[in-house]
Amino acid sequence: MRRFITLTCATPVLVVIAAVTGTVPATGGLVPAPAASPPLGDEYYTPVELNRGLLTAADLPNGYTALDGDAAGSVNVLDTDACAVSGFSELNGPSAIQTTAVRRVFGHEDGSTLAFQLLAVGPEAVARWVSYTADPPTTCPVVTGEGYTIENTALPLPGLGDGAAGMIRVSRHEHEAPTRRHSATVGWGAVVLTVEETRTTEQNQARFVAMVGSAARQVRRIAAGPSADDLRRGLLTLADLPAGFRIVADDTVESRAVLTEKDCAGAVRQFGDERLAARRTFGKGRATVSVVVAVNPSGYGLIGAMGSRVRDCPEGVAAAPSVATDMFVGGIIYQDEPPVLRGITPYREVISDVRVTVTDGLDLAAADEIRGAALRATWNVYE
Assess contact for 373 and 240: CB atoms under 8 A. Answer: yes
Better-scored residue on pLDDT, 58 or 3: 58
What's phi and psi for 366, nearest 5 deg? -65, -40
Bridge partners for 104 per DSSP:
116
206 three-state secondary structure: helix
Q: CA 336 → CA 16, 21, 28, distances in Å?
A: 11, 10, 24
Position 224 scores a pLDDT of 65
Does residue 129 surpass a pLDDT of 60? Answer: yes
Mean pLDDT estimate for the chain: 82
Position 275 scores a pLDDT of 85
Helices (H), the chain: 11-21, 47-51, 126-134, 136-139, 205-223, 228-232, 255-258, 299-312, 364-378
State how far Cα 305 lies from the chain centre.
24
306 three-state secondary structure: helix
Using CB atoms within 10 A of its CB, is residue 214 exposed (0-12), middle (13-18) or buried (19+)? middle
Give the range among 67-81, 230-244, 270-284, 285-299 with minimum mean pLDDT: 67-81
Position 309 scores a pLDDT of 94
Position 122 scores a pLDDT of 76
| Alpha-carbon span 120 to 46, nearest angstrom | 8
Does residue 155 surpass a pLDDT of 90? Answer: yes
Better-scored residue on pLDDT, 344 or 296: 344
**If pLDDT is split at 50, 70 and 90, which confidence band does 21 have?**
very low
pLDDT, tens digit (0-9, with 9 covering 90-100), for 68-108: 754 444 445 555 678 888 765 544 445 555 577 888 999 99
Strand-strand pairing, 330-334 and 317-319:
antiparallel
Position 23 scores a pLDDT of 41
Give the residue-averaged pLDDT of 47-61.
Answer: 86
Using CB atoms within 10 A of its CB, is residue 105 exposed (0-12), middle (13-18) or buried (19+)? middle
Q: What is the 3-state secondary structure (H, E, C) of 224-291?
A: CCCCHHHHHCCCCCHHHCCCCCEEEEEEEEEHHHHCEEECCCCCEEECCCCCEEEEEEEEECCEEEEE
pLDDT, tens digit (0-9, with 9 covering 90-100), for 336-371: 999 999 999 988 778 999 999 999 989 999 999 999
b/e string for 163-191 if b means 16 or more Cβ within 10 A?
bbbbbbbebeeeeeeeebbbbbbbbbbbb
State how far Cα 84 lies from the chain centre.
34
| Alpha-carbon span 184 to 34, nearest angstrom | 46
What's phi and psi for 229, nearest 5 deg? -65, -40
Does residue 13 surpass a pLDDT of 80? Answer: no
Does residue 18 surpass a pLDDT of 60? Answer: no
Residues of the chain with pLDDT > 70, as a percent, come to: 80
| Alpha-carbon span 346 to 300, nearest angstrom | 7
What residue type is assigned to position 245 of the chain? F
Q: What is the 3-state secondary structure (H, E, C) of 6-28?
A: CCCCCHHHHHHHHHHHCCCCCCC
| Alpha-carbon span 150 to 199, nearest angstrom | 15
Position 108 scores a pLDDT of 95
pLDDT, tens digit (0-9, with 9 covering 90-100), for 166-225: 999 999 987 788 999 999 999 987 788 999 999 999 999 999 999 999 999 888 777 667
Assess contact for 95 and 162: CB atoms under 8 A. Answer: no
Q: What's the pTM value of the predicted model, to 2 decimals?
A: 0.57
Assess contact for 122 and 43: CB atoms under 8 A. Answer: yes
pLDDT, tens digit (0-9, with 9 covering 90-100), for 303-330: 999 999 999 999 999 999 888 777 788 9
Does residue 128 surpass a pLDDT of 90? Answer: no
Position 80 scores a pLDDT of 67
Cβ-Cβ contacts under 8 Å for 214 (sequence gap 6 or more): 55, 59
